[in-house]
Amino acid sequence: MNNEKKLTELFGAIEQSEWEKAARDWKEQQPWKEYAQQIAIEVLELLEKSGMSQKAFAEKMKVSPQVVNKWLKGKENFTLETIAKMEFVLGQKLIQITPQQAVPAYVEVILSPLEYCEGPKTKSGQLSFSKTQFFDLHLPYSLAEN
Amino acid sequence: MFALKQIVADKLYALKTPDGSDVFHRCFENWQDVLYLHDFFRQHAYALAFYKVDRKTAIRQVLSESKQFFSEILEIINTANHASTLDETIFIPLHNREDFDLPLIETKAYGTISRKCYLRLYAIRLSDGCYIVVGGLIKTTRSLQGGAEGRKMLQTLKKIASFLRKSKFEDAFDIGVLIV
């Protein structure tokens, strides 16, 4: 008797998990999701340091708290427009392209306030960081192909 | 009592959760969820001292570890005719003194081969390369018994193993072993 039959006798009908499909989709989306996750980490940190609630952030971004929740989970394929708006609201650059590194595609995720963007200051106005980190996110395609 | 969901027939099953998902899928979702991890490490700030990292680093490391871990599982379960590979590469006996010759043993899987890795999955081994995942956690204490979540995990493992033994689950496989 195979496991499946025996398990069905003991546990009742066994439904199919959605994991495999979710994992396949995740695998396909991984290149951009890694960016989204890095941005979410930075935004969460900036919100906490500035004392801005997720609700207040949603209001300033003119989106619902549910949309912000999805952003902060690192599951949103952000548009450049959204990123620029987040930078404006948070008063902090989130990404920066380094043109020196054309192949493979290379993006700096800025963890320190190298450059404040024009916009409102955060509530505390006291963002202070000490170092910058860089992440090579290894895109599966090359900018040179475009 | 308990219900199951099938990840891959005759290879991987997981306990169903009250919301209709399963513990394996839930671990996957949580360990790839930045907001969940941010809240987790805020509530378990002592874990950061254990790993000697700051919160942002811990979140990045869990994301990276879970990516590697689930990619590996995805690859293994889709490899045809390699029923034992989950035994060899993912799950190991929970207790060092046990081995895979024992029926229905409790097993664990590490997020990476590093001893200082964050992620653990716990499962009951049904037969060669076939498991029921009972749960998973982000390690925050030195031993599994050291935290409430770990102790609860141990209890669930024992409960499922005991239920399977009482139901004589292993008998179907023992006959095969005796003939051989």
- Which chain A residue is nearest to residue B176, measuring alpha carbons? A1
The verdict on residue A5 lying in a domain is: no
Indicate whether A144 pLDDT > 60.
Answer: no
Mean pLDDT along residues B129-133: 93
The ipTM value here is: 0.86
Instruction: Report the residue of chain B nearest A31, measured CA to CA.
Output: B67
The domain ranges of chain B are 4-179
The pLDDT value recorded for residue A124 is: 43
Surface-to-core class of residue B93, CB atoms within 10 Å of its CB (0-12 exposed, 13-18 middle, 19+ buried): middle
Q: Decide if A16 is inside a domain.
A: no
CATH code where residue A77 lies: 1.10.260.40
Contact across the interface for A11 and B8, Cβ inside 8 Å? no
Residues 11..50 of B with a Cβ closer than 8 Å to A: which?
A: 13-14, 16, 21-22, 24-25, 28-29, 32-36, 38
Rounded CA-CA distance B134/B169 in Å is 17
Determine the number of helices (DSSP H) and then strands (DSSP E) in chain A.
5, 3
Domain count of the fold of chain A: 1
Pick A40's closest partner by Cβ from B16, B34, B70.
Answer: B34
**Average pLDDT over chain B, rounded to an integer:** 87
Of B13-22, B99-108, B132-141, the least confident: B99-108
Task: Give the residue, A30 or A131, on which the prediction is more confident.
Answer: A30
Interatomic CA distance for residues B157 and B149, integer angstroms = 12
Question: The pTM is what?
Answer: 0.81
* Whole-number pLDDT of residue B13: 96
Among chain A residues, the shortest Cα distance to B22 is held by A17
Residue A16 bridge partners (DSSP): B6
State which residues form the domain around A129.
23-145
- H helices of chain A, where? 3-11, 19-50, 54-61, 65-73, 80-90
A94-108, B8-22, B77-91 — most confident range? B8-22
Q: How many CA atoms does the CB half-sphere of B90 hold within 13 Å?
A: 27
Q: Quick one: average pLDDT of B93-102? A: 82
**Nearest CA-CA distance, residue A42 and chain B, Å:** 8
pLDDT at position A55, please?
A: 97
Tell me the average pLDDT of chain A.
78
In a domain, A65, yes or no: yes
Give residue A1's pLDDT band: very low, low, confident or very high (50, 70, 90).
Answer: low
Sign of CA dihedral A17, A18, A20, A26: negative
Residue A50 CA, distance from chain mean position: 19
* pLDDT band at A146; cut points 50, 70, 90: very low
Q: Poorest-confidence range of A13-22, A106-115, B145-154? A: A106-115
